[in-house]
Structure 1
Amino acid sequence: MPETEPTDESAEAPDLTNKSVVKAMTLLRELGRHPRGITVTELAQIVGMTRPTAFRLLLSMEQVGFVDRTENNYTLGWEMARLGRLADPTAGVAAKVQPILEGVAQEISETVSFALVKSQTEYEIIAEASASRLLQVSNLYVRRQYPLHASATGKILLADLADTRVSQLLSGTLASFTPQTITDSKVLVRQLKEIRENGYAVIDNELEEGLFAVAVGVRDADGLLLGVVTATGPDQRMKSGRLAGTVEQLRSTAEEIGKTLE
């Protein structure tokens, strides 16, 4: 009697993942955490791989420029740097983040945006979502960056730096946008200390009259700042006893986005 083919419902989808490629990517990610180099033995131990397997994969990647080796130390190679320059860091990220933003925007009834960190002092807002309100902020932020000292997102970036670095970046009088803008770098440095302690940043009429924003950093498992999630709205509404709840919502959102981007 001929054997019957398993139905789509009963058959499990085959695992088509190439295990060697996955292991190679694991090695590359770990190499990225060691810019000064790491030995194959140390690398294998960290990622839970046998030394011979790690060595073979590193040797193969070295031959195509993905890995460099100086004596016994391995680092990311020139080809990785070249591909990194070609890649659009926002590609795919906005699509992953957008549904999360839409959910929290409806929960807190304000405009919520996500900014991707590009460097220590640069960010780009790549996604936003707005609640169904007559009075709201919408479609104003995507693809833009605002002054670091006068934006909640910018303050999160500054708070991630040492005070000496902040003083170097923002020496002298800072640009004023409203009477509430912080223009004294010493005052700003004191506020950044509070931001580090509290875990969130706000602007209160500092960029535009009537505009209030609160921001929380999005970090990876190692604590690296990947981006910032921000809620923005009219000051009289956002300051009316809702700030604590909004901060907690943003913290949960930041954690969810961080896991999504891993």
Structure 2
Amino acid sequence: MAAGQSAAEADEAQGSDATTAEESADLTNKSVIKATVLLSELGRHRQGITVTELAQAVGMTRPTAFRLLLSLEQTGFVDRVDNRYLLGWQVARLGRLADPYTGAVARIQPILDEYAAKLKETMSFAMVRSETSYDVIAEASGSRYLNATHLYVGGNYPAHASATGKLLLSELSDDAIAATLPEKLESYTARTITNRKALLQEIRQVREQGYAVIDEELEEGLFAVAYPVRNGSAGLIGVLAAQGPVQRFKSDKLPGVVDQLHKAADEVAKALS
């Protein structure tokens, strides 16, 4: 109780705070939330999806999904072609108007800063745009004098010579990778994997262990490890990476870095959900 405040006034203030919390909860529209869940899932099906398949994918009853889809179709946020639903023209129009990353960076930057301080290494986050493309949208520097820093935001890396790229490739089938990459890959250092068959072997290992690394494959002296950030449907939405001098990572430090990236990835996923 504040100085000069009576017990009755304190009780009234506490009651007011409780009422405000309850009102905030009441203001949440569950139908709107469910509609956004449907839109997010539709974004993963470029060729469309049936209402039954969509309802099963998001854990919703078919009647509820159908009712929401009908409303979204009437407002242009959903299109229907031969009983298959896909994102509508309104989504594309709003997408062109919106800055895709400002809000996301504001949410995840504190997390990157926290884990960069813990690891004392540079952290970066890449937002996935498609199966094979992404944008590095945020970075946080470690506290060491020798750091890999301020090199990545707004950039992109070659898929076969970066930890982030390898992680994206691991989401594809071997056949899809073979269709995407040539047999002979560009060399950046003496350690770059330039043979597609050898790269496929490493990608299989990435799938098994759940993270990807590069060891002086993009730049001499640079080591990086990347970890996936997934949404509630286990879809890949982004990639967290830690990078620094190879002599610091190629030691017993790597398992600890992977563990911290796992925790950071969970936090980022929650922040973006």
If the length of structure 1 is used for normalisation, what is the TM-score?
0.86
1:186-215: CA deviation from partner (whole Å, max 9, x where unpaired):
100000000100111111111111111111
Alignment check: 8 A CA contact 2:191 2:215 kept: yes
Between the aligned partners of 1:54 and 1:240, the Cα distance in structure 2 is: 51
- Look up the match of 1:118: 129
- Look up the match of 1:38: 51
Between the aligned partners of 1:208 and 1:72, the Cα distance in structure 2 is: 50
3-state SS of paired residue (1:171): coil
- Look up the match of 2:141: 130
1:179 to 190, 194, 197: 190
1:215 to 214, 220, 226: 226
Task: State the shift of 1:71 in Å.
Answer: 6.8
Counterparts of 1:129-148 in structure 2, within 5 Å, are 129-148=140-159
Structure 1 position 10 matched with structure 2 position 15: yes
Change (3 A) 1:92 1:180: same
2:165 to 154, 163, 169: 154
Structure 1 position 203 matched with structure 2 position 214: yes
Task: State the shift of 1:138 in Å.
Answer: 1.4
3-state SS of paired residue (1:103): helix
1:2-24: CA deviation from partner (whole Å, max 9, x where unpaired):
xx9x9554212123334553454
Kindly tell me the number of residue pairs found equivalent between the two proteins. 255
Structure whose residues are more often helix by fraction = 2
- Look up the match of 1:250: 261
Between the aligned partners of 1:73 and 1:183, the Cα distance in structure 2 is: 41
1:118-172: CA deviation from partner (whole Å, max 9, x where unpaired):
1111111111111211111111111100111111100101111111111121113
Alignment check: 8 A CA contact 2:188 2:217 kept: yes
Between the aligned partners of 1:48 and 1:187, the Cα distance in structure 2 is: 45
> What are the ranges of 5 or more consecutive residues in structure 1 without an aligned counterpart?
none
Counterparts of 1:43-62 in structure 2, within 5 Å, are 46-48=59-61, 51=63, 57-62=68-73
- Look up the match of 1:89: 100
Task: State the shift of 1:254 in Å.
Answer: 1.1
Task: State the shift of 1:103 in Å.
Answer: 1.0
Identical columns (%): 52
Give 2:49's aligned amino acid.
Answer: R
Change (3 A) 1:173 1:134: same
Change (3 A) 1:135 1:162: same
- Look up the match of 1:261: 272
Quote the RMSD (CA, aligned, Å).
2.7
> What are the ranges of 5 or more consecutive residues in structure 2 without an aligned counterpart?
1-8
Task: State the shift of 1:249 in Å.
Answer: 0.8
Task: State the shift of 1:69 in Å.
Answer: 4.0
Alignment check: 8 A CA contact 2:55 2:65 kept: no
If the length of structure 2 is used for normalisation, what is the TM-score?
0.83
1:60-79: CA deviation from partner (whole Å, max 9, x where unpaired):
43322123345765543332
- Look up the match of 2:3: none
Alignment check: 8 A CA contact 1:40 1:73 kept: no
